[in-house]
Structure 1
Amino acid sequence: MQALPFATIALVLYLAAAIWQGMTLLRRVPPRQGIVRLLAVVALLLHIPAIIELLGRTPGLLPGFTTSVALFMAVAANVVLVASLFKPVLNAGIALFPLAGLALVLATGTPSHGIQGSITPGILLHIVTSTLAFAILAIAAAQAVLVGLQNQALRHHHIRGIVQSLPPLTTMERVLFELIWAGMVLLSIAIVSGLIFIDNMFAQHLVHKTVLSFVAWGVLAVLLTGRYRFGWRGMRAVKWTLWGCGFLLLAYFGSKFVLEILLTP
């Protein structure tokens, strides 16, 4: 099976879903969440067989850089769709859907070298919780950007456009912290399971990932403590969220990018 045709069609559908939701946010078209979800679901159904084909190319314990990004973005898109049935997070798809499509297209055309090894139940727990933690905190980062835009607009008394399309700021912030709490629980399990079940961390070049994961965990823990003790909100919450998610992004993909892309002859 050739993954590129699936990836190309998935990208087009992801872009269509993101554009419609973006135009809805700008109040250019009426809200059609059903259409947005349908487009994204079909894109995701094309994303899955393409990912399976890519994973088949690089057997091993963990996929390489480009395949990992495509896999993680597929999970993030899926979490957005499921969570949007219960929480107002579909706007996060404006950023995440196109990134999922682009990551998939990039993965189909770029060689990816996996890490060899066997998958034990403990390592499987680490992989699953790591992936879900990344997906939820990626949504939190997109939610933080929207909260920041909404906060800035309200500060400057701009009450039209995006502000009218989004839920109230208090609701947006509550959802943001719910996402962070869920992501932190999963990230904590991922870190602990990684320390317990992954052997030869130095040989597998996972030390940087572990250190940066701890840094990301610490940043988000400070944010949650500040929220509980001092009522942190607004732009302070946005900045800490983005810093924490940024460190997590580096933890998951930074060392892979350097080893597989920059240092590979």
Structure 2
Amino acid sequence: MLIPTLALLAITLYLAAAALLARPLFGREATTTTLPLAIAGAAVLAHAGVLLGAHRGALDLHFFAALSLVASVVSALTLIVNLSRPVATLGVIVFPLSALLLGVDVFAAPATAPQPMDWQIKLHVSIALLAFGVLSIAAALAILLALQERALRHRQFGALLHALPPLTLTEALLFRLIAAGFVLLSLTLLSGILFVDNLFAQHLAHKTLLSIAAWLVFGVLLWGRWRHGWRGRRAVNLTLAGMAILLLAFFGSKFVLEVVLHRTA
């Protein structure tokens, strides 16, 4: 009963933090971000406790367990991002998704057991999780940036614009996240080459190719930003396209094999 109770606590805290952060978006008086972010921090700790207990303290990369793990990493990184660049509105997107994925893993998904891994594979997976997490936050920020630009274009100076930092700061943070995610994704591909036996074996070839495709998209975007000053809609579209490809690389085959075909990836 401990794990379900801890999961319910984490879900409640995630949703409470998101609700507090969403108040300015509905024209209500904003609370300081300290309280909701502290609540979200407690949710992340409870989420980590669930992962440690439900999956025996090991990396469980089955579909729903992996989604829950990624959600906890993204939530933790969202808190870290807010330490240097306050964009607490990201939590309105990230925290409810984390609550949903945690709930599915604990209350709806079949029980799974972690598969044994060498330390090299654990290192490769850890770097990949960080890369996916950072780029996921960049994708969420790209969505907020698109909404912000649309509001400015239509002169809709409403609650959203007041809840977000100035457009230039949002855009600068977006590209910093993409640059960091690009470095981590590069390390992911490099560690895969060094540590994963038969990288193009069954169930790995398309993951590798899609990851390389996402790496190229983010690389082109960073080059375009540096060389031609790309920004705005082009930056948003390429960010979301790269993230969509990366999502397919990380979870596409797992969904088909484990959820549709009921086989182990």
Deviation at 1:33, TM superposition (A): 0.6
Q: Following superposition of structure 1 onto structure 2, how do residues 19-38 of structure 1 map, counting pairs within 5 Å? A: 19-38=19-38
Three-state SS of the structure 2 residue aligned to 1:29 is coil
Three-state SS of the structure 1 residue aligned to 2:157 is coil
Alignment partner, residue 246 of structure 1: 244
Partner amino acid, structure 2, of 1:260: E
Instruction: List per-residue Cα deviations over 1:229-248 (Å, max 9, x = no partner).
Output: 11111111111101111111
The share of aligned pairs that are identical, in percent, is: 43
Task: Decide whether aligned partners of structure 1 residues 66 and 204 sit closer, same or farther in structure 2, where only a CA change above 3 A counts.
Answer: farther
Q: Following superposition of structure 1 onto structure 2, how do residues 63-102 of structure 1 map, counting pairs within 5 Å? A: 63-102=61-100
Determine if contact 2:9/2:43 at 8 Å carries over to the other structure: yes
Task: Decide whether aligned partners of structure 1 residues 43 and 116 sit closer, same or farther in structure 2, where only a CA change above 3 A counts.
Answer: closer
Using the size of structure 2 for normalisation, the TM-score is 0.93
Instruction: List per-residue Cα deviations over 1:196-239 (Å, max 9, x = no partner).
Output: 10114455622222111111111111111111111111111111
Q: Following superposition of structure 1 onto structure 2, how do residues 163-174 of structure 1 map, counting pairs within 5 Å? A: 163-174=161-172
Deviation at 1:2, TM superposition (A): 3.9
Determine if contact 1:67/1:107 at 8 Å carries over to the other structure: yes
Q: Following superposition of structure 1 onto structure 2, how do residues 116-127 of structure 1 map, counting pairs within 5 Å? A: 116-120=115-119, 122-127=120-125
Alignment partner, residue 43 of structure 1: 43
Unaligned runs of 5+ in 2: none
Instruction: List per-residue Cα deviations over 1:158-196 (Å, max 9, x = no partner).
Output: 122211221111111000000000000001001110121
Alignment partner, residue 261 of structure 1: 259
Stretches (4+) displaced over 6 A: none
Alignment partner, residue 14 of structure 1: 14
Three-state SS of the structure 2 residue aligned to 1:14 is helix
Alignment partner, residue 216 of structure 1: 214
Partner amino acid, structure 2, of 1:189: L
Three-state SS of the structure 1 residue aligned to 2:115 is coil
Q: Following superposition of structure 1 onto structure 2, how do residues 225-236 of structure 1 map, counting pairs within 5 Å? A: 225-236=223-234
Using the size of structure 1 for normalisation, the TM-score is 0.93
In structure 1, what is the Cα distance between the partners aligned to 2:253 and 2:152?
39
Alignment partner, residue 192 of structure 1: 190
Task: Decide whether aligned partners of structure 1 residues 226 and 140 sit closer, same or farther in structure 2, where only a CA change above 3 A counts.
Answer: same
Partner amino acid, structure 1, of 2:9: I
Alignment partner, residue 52 of structure 1: 52
Partner amino acid, structure 2, of 1:39: I
Partner amino acid, structure 1, of 2:52: I
In structure 2, what is the Cα distance between the partners aligned to 1:100 and 1:237?
26
Q: Following superposition of structure 1 onto structure 2, how do residues 109-148 of structure 1 map, counting pairs within 5 Å? A: 109=107, 110-111=109-110, 113=112, 116-120=115-119, 122-148=120-146
Task: Decide whether aligned partners of structure 1 residues 264 and 134 sit closer, same or farther in structure 2, where only a CA change above 3 A counts.
Answer: same
Partner amino acid, structure 1, of 2:186: S
Report how many aligned residue pairs link the two structures: 262
Determine if contact 1:27/1:165 at 8 Å carries over to the other structure: no
